[in-house]
Structure 1
């Protein structure tokens, strides 16, 4: 399986079933998975004492195997299990452990805590007793490791099913990444994440983690138009569109043009076209257009949005344009990418009559209903396409929480589309370059400084 696959609970169960159907037993697969996890725990723990909390299911079975392996490594291991095992594999794993099993954590002390209480199949809150036990054991250990997922986390949504769940230093994902590993709020309690391979095959249609783009230098015969002409529709507030233009100039396009009559002092390489917008958009060399940053929400702004979409050019729709967008405007054959933050995502769902629970589901349903690729930007950016593709971004620096950061992202995206990328690919590349530019910009930074660093983020992909 690719180390970029992100699976739902149902997909993971199907992948494991395929392994069982090939002749591997549940107990054998448990030995593989828990053995890999135990090796990580051994490295982290070194010679420290370890407490393993086991639940009644196969996640608890993993815990018994981990405890046994760690004992074989020479660690001092204590096992706590508030409930007896209920699956055949977990019963067998407990028997193989053979050591003492405590039913409560009262008076226990240790240095490393391993949570194997409940795994990715959990869909309801922990009982009060189990929640208290988990918090108490976590509080009394200096190092905390979760196996597969921290107990109390809902795998497919990333929701925290209980209040006051402890945070972990390391989370060991078994077999494949789950959505909760990359979505908030669950991601925030997991610490560092490591993937433990268990031999399951790739799952067709699985969501993917966004990978580093593989970019190349322009061909020796390239010129500004073959590299792509990106147009940015100006509006009532020039600052935002200028930020987008600055990012687009550094995002790979050979030519960036601002369509509007606002002055742009300090940008000598930025070409401005102040002709009527329909005329400016009639240039057949335009590869993609960005509308929204600084557009405003007046009647004139709505006219400029409508004119942009009527031009039937591949487009990035951002900021104010997302609040003005109506379903009847999305009628052409042009390829469209919308880049909403959470408030704009809510407004789009209302406009397109999308009803879905959770941010991921809303982005997916909206993409299908609107025909647009949706880049739901934020601390846990995800990208959904109308055909069902889904990509998740790895965490980016929190310094991106600055005004204008989204304008920079939109500028990179239109540059990538102008250079020939399809909207889904452009969104993935833009999200990666945006995050890398933030890593390369001394913090705290302004959006203008971030835009200047797009060049470095792009160069990291060459």
Structure 2
């Protein structure tokens, strides 16, 4: 598995301070960082002329030393000084570069007219480091716009030192689009969380981590998250098996009310996901008007009338996993149906996946101080319960704004765990998964998956994996479901592109992913 530890800027500062307290000089670390970057750039970039844009802090100092080392490799280098160095290490680095006769230009607003700047094939961003947590302003903002304009031209490459200037390293946030849009980010010391979530996925480009020094053990500074890139291999099935060997999933959704036609397709998509990963049996509890549609799409599924309690209630005792909420509806009269279904599931000791409209009703119950919320939290301490919201659903669950969620997604997940217990998936660019007291970031998937029904399929995948008793806890985990879903989306994007992706195309790709995982 190619999983990477991810840290916040505060954790990186602590790692650095511990290194310095052990007697290691700060300027020595700057030299090590710049030398390793120079080696990587010289080896991997074919063009040998560069502009290095420097700011006032130690990130700028990295840039000055990088200029010095690239010149030693025979590169033609121009340093564009956007701001004078202000730290002792950055001042020292500048003096070294000047003594080596590195070419320098003081930044000005007509920078793009400078021939050395316009003709450079490589532009290296050393303006801001990981301490920035606001929008760059003034000359910095103008310089960032100039770099982005230059590197949008053919045969130009933008390389960021440690993190693209303007990107918040702990949250992945960019304010008003003011950030370097890097082709490559040379991430120093350890991988930063913000490079792999939210705007970081659009601004960081290819991330290359240069470790520099030994990282502390996780018991001393535990990483904020673990980056996930590849699903886990899956155990082969025993020949002496039958459909009951691989579990029974009950999908509760696909409703229709007098005020809305509903979303019958949501329950079909969830059933599709469950079957695609190998669930032995899948039942769909939906409105009777959708039964024919379910059976036409999935003739191997069983159907039951969502509004017939005599038929529905006994089904829970035969079920391993209940996935509830996909197309369930948000009308007030549906809330009692949600409550009863969850209570039936808990009485039968079923695993629970709560998604979509199920999360809506859970948030309403929390506002009403309904005892079911606490019951679910207690239940989740001993049985698998997963919540799978997007940003808007998470905001409603926590009673805060979408902006507050996006300002710090890790904090939002931590807050949700404290309030509701269980396992959590916060969907988005770099979906965040919390399970087994660990945060994960999914680094597969693509923007083409931002289409209706993708979440329904994912809920079905998770339920289908959880139903299979022979799989290990890792092989049927929430993060495994997210990875399979994302890898299937990436495989589909290669075939149809981001604009042509449709949710019902996902089934065959999921099946292929499962076949590959079980064949490893």
- TM-score, normalised by the number of residues in structure 2: 0.80
| Matching of residues 41-52 of structure 1 within 5 Å | 41-52=41-52
Match of 1:281 among 316, 320, 344: 316
1:183 aligned counterpart, secondary structure: coil
Match of 1:432 among 480, 483, 493: 483
The change in CA–CA distance for 1:4 and 1:222 in structure 2 (over 3 A counts) is: farther
1:429 aligned counterpart, secondary structure: helix
- TM-score, normalised by the number of residues in structure 1: 0.90
1:269 aligned counterpart, secondary structure: coil
> Deviation per CA, 1:309-363, whole angstroms, max 9, x where unpaired?
21212211111111111233231414321111222222222299x9765444223
Q: Partner of 2:258 in structure 1?
A: none
Instruction: Report the Cα offset of residue 126 of structure 1.
Output: 2.4
Could you tell me whether the CA contact under 8 Å between 1:3 and 1:195 is conserved in 2? no
Q: Partner of 1:321 in structure 2?
A: 358
> Deviation per CA, 1:211-232, whole angstroms, max 9, x where unpaired?
4222221234444334332221
Kindly indicate whether residue 328 of structure 2 is the aligned counterpart of residue 265 of structure 1. no
Which runs of at least 4 in structure 1 moved beyond 6 Å after TM superposition?
Answer: none
Kindly indicate whether residue 247 of structure 2 is the aligned counterpart of residue 212 of structure 1. no
Q: Partner of 1:348 in structure 2?
A: 397
| Matching of residues 226-305 of structure 1 within 5 Å | 226-236=245-255, 237-260=263-286, 261=288, 262-263=291-292, 264-266=294-296, 267-273=298-304, 276-283=311-318, 286-298=319-331, 301-305=334-338
Aligned mates of 2:39, 2:392 — CA distance in 1: 44
Could you tell me whether the CA contact under 8 Å between 2:489 and 2:509 is conserved in 1? yes
Q: Which has more helix, going by share of residues? A: 2
> Deviation per CA, 1:88-140, whole angstroms, max 9, x where unpaired?
33233223322344322532422211001111111233230122123224433
Q: Partner of 1:82 in structure 2?
A: 82
57-66 vs 12-21, which deviates more? 12-21
Kindly indicate whether residue 325 of structure 2 is the aligned counterpart of residue 307 of structure 1. no
Kindly indicate whether residue 169 of structure 2 is the aligned counterpart of residue 155 of structure 1. yes
Instruction: Report the Cα offset of residue 207 of structure 1.
Output: 0.6
Kindly indicate whether residue 48 of structure 2 is the aligned counterpart of residue 11 of structure 1. no
The change in CA–CA distance for 1:329 and 1:451 in structure 2 (over 3 A counts) is: farther
Aligned mates of 1:66, 1:383 — CA distance in 2: 37
Q: How many residues align?
A: 457
Aligned mates of 2:45, 2:241 — CA distance in 1: 55
Match of 1:126 among 105, 123, 136: 136
Aligned mates of 1:391, 1:170 — CA distance in 2: 23
> Deviation per CA, 1:235-257, whole angstroms, max 9, x where unpaired?
41432111111111111333323
Kindly indicate whether residue 224 of structure 2 is the aligned counterpart of residue 181 of structure 1. no
Instruction: Please provide the CA RMSD for this pair.
Output: 2.7
1:390 aligned counterpart, secondary structure: strand
Aligned mates of 2:223, 2:54 — CA distance in 1: 33
Match of 2:206 among 155, 172, 192: 192
Aligned mates of 2:299, 2:81 — CA distance in 1: 69
Instruction: Report the Cα offset of residue 276 of structure 1.
Output: 2.8
Q: Which runs of 5+ in 1 are unaligned?
A: none
Instruction: Report the Cα offset of residue 167 of structure 1.
Output: 1.7
Instruction: Report the Cα offset of residue 11 of structure 1.
Output: 0.9
The change in CA–CA distance for 1:458 and 1:24 in structure 2 (over 3 A counts) is: farther
Match of 2:511 among 437, 455, 458: 455
1:276 aligned counterpart, secondary structure: helix
